[in-house]
Amino acid sequence: MDFNEFEASVLELGQDAADYSKRRESLFQKTWNKQLDSASVTAAGSATDASQRAEYDNLHERLGDVCAEYLVMKEREQAREIVGLYPDLIRQLINHLGWSTRRVQSEENRPYLMRGLAAVSFADLRTDARDLLMAMGQSYLHCYRVGVFMSVPLVRVAEISNPMPRPPNPASMRDFLLNFEESAYFKSSVLPKLK
């Protein structure tokens, strides 16, 4: 895939992520504002759950393909700037870490882990770092439970990540990934669960 094709894929995913977020928000607001009665919510929920799951999975399958390309491309800095134009896509990039990690059941599934970590690198600390720490911690624990260790993939993805800090974060994406296993969050919330 050349960079123009990559950019077109990101633009399409950005729009699809925004559309997906709007539909989810609309359903939530109608439910919250009691515009739908509980029977309607239940009926609509069972009908739309499968449809929304399929839409979500499709979005993340495509996002995984883009993240796989991000891992090998040379124009990563340009790619990170493009994705910065799509806040809904940035949120889905962080969600992609969890989506990908759930598919890791053994070392054979390591490409999913690499794509999930690439998504984090691609998002480039444009979300609340606390949310990212929690997502990373959950992924780390899942991988540990299935016998896949994240230390080497963390370093590999850190090597291709942005070395410059992105305000308001004092650290760069590269430093965030390289230091994750030494972070206070990891030591207090992840490490005790590894024993």
How far apart (Å, rounded) are the C-alpha atoms in residues 172 and 162? 6
Summarize pLDDT for 33-87 with one digit per residue, the tens: 555 555 555 555 555 667 778 889 999 999 999 999 999 999 999 999 999 999 9
pLDDT band at 31; cut points 50, 70, 90: low
DSSP codes, 89-150: HHHHHHHHHHHHHTT--SGGGHHHHHHHHHHHHHHTT-S-HHHHHHHHHHHHHHHHHTT---
Residue 114: CB partners within 8 Å, gap ≥ 6? 68, 71, 153, 156, 157
pLDDT band at 23; cut points 50, 70, 90: confident
Summarize pLDDT for 82-138 with one digit per residue, the tens: 999 999 999 999 999 999 999 999 999 999 999 999 999 999 999 888 999 999 999
List residues bridging with 165 in a β-sheet. 172
The pLDDT score that the predictor gives to residue 142 is: 97
